[in-house]
Structure 1
Amino acid sequence: MDQRISFVTLAVTDLDASRRFYVGGLGWTPELDVPGEVVMFRAGPMLVLSLWDRAAFELEVGRPAQSGPGVVPMTLAHNGRTEAEVDAVLALARSAGAEASAAQRREWGGYTGYFADPDGFRWEVATNPGPIGESVLPPAG
């Protein structure tokens, strides 16, 4: 098996609200949009983010485990080149209606903050130092 991820699928409770947040709020362009079922976005050269109606997800995949109050135990990440870019993305998310934290400098050298989409999925917005941080960015220019 190749070491890669092709799709990240999030089961969402209100697909229309998620579409408004990602398309209208964050400015993303869908690659596939099936009303009432799924909306998919190209998120990288070989990566798609899929927002799938939760009821349809449960029919095909199964019922998600319930662990009580709190956050979903995962994050998605969007990395930028500069602290200013991190701050701008967090501001955009806030303007789209997201709950977002202020970014902070981290002990390991990065600068990160978080926002939540309409279903509470947490996005980390970060700039990471070193080769691993550079490896996830598109070419400059």
Structure 2
Amino acid sequence: MEQRVSFITLAVRDVAASHTFYAEGLGWTPEFYDPDDVLMFRAGPLTVLSLWSRAHFEAEVGSPSQSGPGVVPLTLSHNVHTREEVDAVLADAGAAGAADVSDGQEREWGGYTGYFADPDGFRWEVAWNPGPIGELVLPSVRESD
């Protein structure tokens, strides 16, 4: 098996609400969208983030083992080039309706991060990581340039 991840699939309560948050609120461009089934975004050159109806997810994969109060033991990370970009993305997420938006904080490992939750409570870390691992996950030339 090759060392890569092709899809990250999250089971969501309401695909249309996820579309409103990610596409309309955060400005992501869907690759595929069926409001009753699934919403897919290109998340990297060879990676797709798939937000799949919880009912369809459970029918194919099975029932989640953890539910109830608390934080899902998983984070998704969006790395950026600068500290200032962390704060800007967190502000954009808050404006898009994200819950539990934290302020960016200096971390003991040398980076700067903050978090927000999507409509289903999945936590996104927005991170500036000045080390070699941080550089590994960012394009060498910014797409916006």
Q: Percent identity?
A: 70
Q: Against the structure 1 CA distance between its residues 55 and 67, is the aligned structure 2 distance closer, same or farther, given a 3 Å change threshold?
A: closer
* Residue identity in the other structure for 1:28: W
How many residues in Structure 1 have an aligned counterpart in Structure 2? 141
Unaligned runs of 5+ in 1: none
Kindly state the Cα deviation for residue 70 of structure 1 after the two structures are TM-superposed. Answer: 0.3
| Aligned residue number for residue 63 of structure 1 | 63
Moved over 3 A (4+): none
- SS at the partner of 1:72? coil
The RMSD of aligned alpha carbons is 0.9
Aligned: 1:105 with 2:78: no
Unaligned runs of 5+ in 2: none
State how far apart, in whole Å, the 2-side matches of 1:67 and 1:98 are.
Answer: 20
Amino acid at match of 2:133: I
The one-letter amino acid paired with 2:36 is: G
CA distance in 1, matches of 2:61, 2:139: 33
Aligned to 1:36: 36
Aligned to 1:48: 48
Q: 30-39 or 86-95, which moves further after superposition?
A: 30-39
TM-score normalised by structure 1 residue count: 0.97
Summarize the Cα distance change of 1:28–1:64 in structure 2 as closer, same or farther, 3 Å threshold: same
2:132 equivalent to 1:131: yes
Q: Secondary structure at the match of 2:116?
A: strand
* C-alpha distance in 1 between matches for 2:127 and 2:78: 6
